[in-house]
Structures are given as C-alpha cells and as structure tokens.
Structure 1
Amino acid sequence: MLCEGVAMSPSIEQLDRFVRSARAGSYSAAAQELYVSPQTVSKSVHDMEHKLNIVLFEPTGRRLRPTARGAQVLHRASEVLEGVDDIRRICGDGSLSSAAGASRLRVAVASSPLRGSVMLERDFCDFRRRCPRVALDVSFLSSGSCLSELRSGAVDAAVVPGRPGAEGLVSERVDSVELRLLVSRGHALASRKALALADLEGALLAEPYDSRWLKATVLELLSRHGVRPRMASLEMSAARHHGFLHEDGGAVLVICDGRYPEQFPDVEAVPFAEGEGMELPTYLAWRREAPAARMAALAECLRDSR
C-alpha cells in the first residue's frame, strides 16, 4: 500500500494538478492548461508531497520526471481522476438529477481569468428561462481544456473560439468575440480611437495565452501583415499583468467582455478598426451522439443573447 500512515489525503484538485504537471513535463505547461500561475500549480504539488510525506518529482533536470514512488502515485491518481470523470458522466445522464424529471446539461466556456471570456454566465439566462427543467451547469476553462473535457465526456458541450476540427464533434457558430488592446492611460496608443495591426509593430505585446486557437490565429495574422511586435510571456497573475501594463509599458490583447475595468483600473481597451481581423468567430461544439434538439436550442439561445 502506498503512503502508509498518512493522516491526510490529497484533494482531487491536487491530484489533477500533479497529473497534468507530470504529463506536460513542467509546472508552466500545466498552469497554461488550467489558466493559473505556475506557482499555484507547484504549491499544490508540494502541498500534496507534504501530505503524503514523499517526493513526487526528481529534484534535478529541466523537465519534471516522477520519482519511483511518484510514478506509482501518478498511475493511481490517473485512475482516480478517470473515476471522477465516470461519476460525472453517470450524473449527467439525468438519472441522478436533483430535480425529479429534470435533466442536466454541462457546458464549458473558453475563458481566461485575466484576459476575458468568450461568453459570460448571463448569456445563458435565456436558455434557463426557455428550458427550466434542464439543470444547466456552466464552467469556465481554457479552450484547450474545454475540448479535452468535451471529448472525455466530462461536459456535454463547449463554447470555444474557432471551429473545432476534432473528429466526432459537431459545431455551430453562435457569436464572435472582439479583441481589444489593453494599455495604460499613459501608453502612446491609449488615445487612439481605433487601431490598425501596423500599430503593433515594435510594440511590447503580451503573448496570447490560448494555445489551441486564439494564439495561433493572432500570431498568423500578425505574420501575414508583416507586423513584428516584441512578444513577452507573462504568468497568469494580476500583479504581473499590472506591472507589465503600468511599469513596463506593455500591451495585452483581451476579449472585450466588459470586466477589465474591475481587474485593471486606469487602463484603456482600445478597439481595432473594422477589417483588421480582430473579430474572431465563436462556436458551440458537442459530441455527435448528443441530443440534437437540445443543442440546437442552446445554440439559438446563445445567438439571441448576444
């Protein structure tokens, strides 16, 4: 038996962060999947080590490598997480719904805690009104995690930027998101009414976080127009973003969902001019075997909400 005599057990969140770190090979890569800081992930793993009184990763080397006992824990932790996903799938079939006769619909929305969300909780109000017998559960994840959860069956649908090309998925366009440039009020571009992509030439720009689609789309767009900003990689922390904007004079691409004034006071979110390609399509995706009528109703409500 592993870890005999341990008084405390790791949480599901700690197991998940440990498994993601082991599979990705670094805390930074796992943090990008979860849209948290690498320090948050490493702290979870270290807390788990303290609870279990073992070392999970080798202390040397640039890539994380499980120790012998860490590999055993990794195997068991993966099984536990698969079991949790099975429980979610069981609960999602309607037989264990909390309301008699009701069914459950789990939707993941592509989101970044600091750079905006493709949709907000309020965008689902119309569906809740039209389908009161459906227990709607909305979660906010990175778009890569949204699709992973969708493929595994942990969620029933996902709202993501860009049309998913994965086999076995159906998708329908429901909206588009507008990207704006977040800068401090003292920045040279803060007073502009609308930006051209060429304005980003040589600018200090935070690298987009969404590695599945948004990042690739933005970088390809800049490359196609011959625009070469100075890219900087930022950890997902409010303090680092605040320093980047106000002290480094940097700029951050954000989805215009209206929440940035609360997170970053004394900033401007400058729009791009029409035709610059900074409006990106948003799709509702679901597995092919999902109830078509329910997904069509959700897609219609999401379009109407915008």
Structure 2
Amino acid sequence: MIDLRRLHVLRAVDHYGTVTAAAKALHFTPSAASQQIRQLGREIGVVLLEPQGRRVRLTPAAQRLLAHAEEIQARWELAELDLRADGDQPAGLLRLAGFPGAVTALLAPAAAALVARHSRLTPRITEAEAAECFDLLFDGDADLAIVEAKPDEPPRDRTRFDQQPLLDDPFDLVVAAGHRLAGRDRVDLAEVADEPWIVPSATCTCRTHVLAACGAAGFTPNAAHDSMNWNATISLVAHGLGVALVPRLAPIPANAEVVRLPSIGEPRRKILTVTRRGGRSSPAVAAALEELERLAPTLLTV
C-alpha cells in the first residue's frame, strides 16, 4: 500500500525542483524528505532518487509514479468536493490569489460581487506573483489564482494545474499630457523609438512583454528608468522623464497628467485562471470564475 503522505513529498520535490526546496516548503529537513522518498521507493520496489553530482534527482520510475500521483490527487480533490458539498450553492472559505494588477482590477470587485450574491461564501485574497500563486495552489493555500503567462517560459505542469485563458490584456503607450503624440488616436511604437523609456524592472514579468513589443517595432528601447510598479511608471511619465508601455488592466489615476494611447498591433499579455486539477468543480470556484468572466471584458476599453 502506497503511503499518500510520502507520495506528497515526491510531488513536492517535483514541484519545487529540489529536495531542499521541497523540504523547506513541507517543514522537513532535507534528510527527512529524502528518507520519506526512499521509504516510498522501498514500499513499491523501485528506486526513486539517484545521485546527480552532489545532489539527487528523481529517477524515470519516479517520473512515471508522478503521473499516477497527479491522477490520484485530482481524484482526491473531486472526492473532497463531493464529501463537503452543501448542495450546489457556493459556501465556505474561497481562497483567491493573483498578481497586484489582478487583485485591483479583477479579484477585489469579483469578491465584492460574490459576497453580495452568496451570503455563505467568504472570499480571502492573497496578493502574489505567478510563481508564488502556483506554490499556494500546490500547497492547498489557494483555490483559484490569476496569473500572467510569461512569453519566454513554457506553461507550468498541465498534469497538476488546470490553466485556462481569461483575457488578453493590451499594452498602451502612455505619454505625458504635453507630449507631441498626446492628441493621436493610435500610435506606431516606432515613432517613439528614439525617446527615453520607463521600463519594468528585471524582476517584473511585463519587462519581457515590453522589450518584445519594442523589438517587433524594430528597436530596443532606451531604458532611462526602471520601475517596479505602474504607479511609479505613471509618475515618471507625467513628469516628462520618458514614455512607457502600460497594460490596460493597470489603472491610471484620474489626476495623472498623462495620456493612454492604443498602439498599432496592440501587443498583449495573456491572463490565465489557474486551479488544481478538479478544482473547477467546486461551486465556490465556479461562481468566482463566472464573475471573473463577466467582469473581464468590461476592463479593456481605453
């Protein structure tokens, strides 16, 4: 008989990438986590860890076992939903997670609407970037997350997570109110190729989108300033320190002396909803998804 607790340790090593990282997430020592996996291997008669330099890695047998483990986890998710079901009415704690822009534009208004419609439902929101959102889902600390897909990375493990598109969020050129292009209806990014730019910092997912959009327009932006959040970007633009590409989901304060201009070609980022496999069957999650899908199209007008 397979010990499901030990199987979860194996899944954690695969999710977090190393025994050390998995052990930290599970509040184990690395040696204890390794021992759990070795014991699991002895139970089923296969080797699950093998040396790789000074470290260890999962064997092909471990990878095959993981495929079964994800099926078991998905079935367990459905079993929990069935056993805890209170009819088909959303109720209980609904844990939501998302990046800052998603919290502001999507999760906060969606949560308010859910509370108004479902008195027995209690949404709880955690602000988190994509990598942490996947960790929260894996650890069972989130039921539904909104993440920004990275154009330069493959999708996360689809056997473990159910990822579905929510919307494509266009990037607009933002210029100071007195900029020479401020009166235009639409601009070609090549028209500002020689100007100073405010670009997202290296830790921001949107940096890749901005550089790719500029590259598609035939230039590399002159990064005069780096910014970690859109409010700072808007302030720098308003003070005439450069131009910027800003996603349409990012709100611009009403008193900011800037102009948002759609760009030719409309570079976009993909926004996804993510659950654990089987998680969309939850009435609470289904209600949240319905509200998000209703809300999303209303946010994309300039």
TM-score range, shorter chain: 0.5 to 0.7
AA at the equivalent of 1:166: R
2:214 and 2:234 map into 1 onto residues whose CA distance is 24
1:254 and 1:238 map into 2 onto residues whose CA distance is 7
2:253 and 2:144 map into 1 onto residues whose CA distance is 30
Which residue among 214, 218, 224 is the counterpart of 1:226? 218
> In the superposition, relative to structure 1, how do residues 210 and 128 fare at CA in structure 2: closer, same or farther (>3 Å)?
farther
User: How many Å apart are 1:224 and its aligned residue?
Assistant: 3.3
2:94 and 2:281 map into 1 onto residues whose CA distance is 13
AA at the equivalent of 1:147: F
2:116 and 2:267 map into 1 onto residues whose CA distance is 32
Other structure's SS at 1:188 match: coil
TM value normalised by structure 2: 0.56
Other structure's SS at 2:119 match: coil
Whether 2:85 is the aligned partner of 1:103: answer no
Whether 2:198 is the aligned partner of 1:179: answer no
User: How many Å apart are 1:147 and its aligned residue?
Assistant: 3.3
AA at the equivalent of 1:160: V
2:237 and 2:119 map into 1 onto residues whose CA distance is 43
> In the superposition, relative to structure 1, how do residues 217 and 254 fare at CA in structure 2: closer, same or farther (>3 Å)?
closer
Which residue among 264, 272, 277 is the counterpart of 2:263? 272
Name 1:159's counterpart in structure 2.
Answer: 146
User: How many Å apart are 1:247 and its aligned residue?
Assistant: 4.1
Other structure's SS at 1:218 match: helix
Other structure's SS at 1:207 match: strand
Question: When you count helix as a share of all residues, which structure comes out higher?
Answer: 2
AA at the equivalent of 2:292: L
2:229 and 2:162 map into 1 onto residues whose CA distance is 34
Aligned 8 A contact 1:110 1:160 in 2: yes
Question: What is the aligned-residue identity percentage?
Answer: 20
2:232 and 2:116 map into 1 onto residues whose CA distance is 40
User: How many Å apart are 1:184 and its aligned residue?
Assistant: 1.4
* Deviation per residue, 1:3-27 (Å, 9 max, x gap): xxxxxxxxxxxxxxxxxxxxxxxxx
TM value normalised by structure 1: 0.55
Aligned 8 A contact 1:150 1:156 in 2: yes
2:162 and 2:262 map into 1 onto residues whose CA distance is 32
Other structure's SS at 2:109 match: helix
Report the number of matched residues: 211
Name 1:49's counterpart in structure 2.
Answer: none
User: How many Å apart are 1:143 and its aligned residue?
Assistant: 3.5
Q: Equivalent residues in 2 for 1:108-123 (5 A)?
A: 108-112=97-101, 119-123=106-110
User: How many Å apart are 1:136 and its aligned residue?
Assistant: 0.8
Which residue among 287, 294, 298 is the counterpart of 1:304? 294
2:237 and 2:204 map into 1 onto residues whose CA distance is 25
Name 2:121's counterpart in structure 1.
Answer: 134
Name 2:40's counterpart in structure 1.
Answer: none
> In the superposition, relative to structure 1, how do residues 129 and 210 fare at CA in structure 2: closer, same or farther (>3 Å)?
farther
1:293 and 1:232 map into 2 onto residues whose CA distance is 47
Aligned 8 A contact 1:143 1:210 in 2: no
Other structure's SS at 2:127 match: strand
Other structure's SS at 1:261 match: coil
* Deviation per residue, 1:17-76 (Å, 9 max, x gap): xxxxxxxxxxxxxxxxxxxxxxxxxxxxxxxxxxxxxxxxxxxxxxxxxxxxxxxxxx9x
Other structure's SS at 1:301 match: helix
> In the superposition, relative to structure 1, how do residues 82 and 121 fare at CA in structure 2: closer, same or farther (>3 Å)?
farther
> In the superposition, relative to structure 1, how do residues 161 and 210 fare at CA in structure 2: closer, same or farther (>3 Å)?
farther
1:80 and 1:162 map into 2 onto residues whose CA distance is 24
Moved segments of 4+, more than 6 Å: 78-81
User: How many Å apart are 1:185 and its aligned residue?
Assistant: 0.9
In structure 1, stretches of 5+ residues that fail to align are: 1-74, 84-92, 96-100
Other structure's SS at 1:244 match: helix
Larger Rg: 2
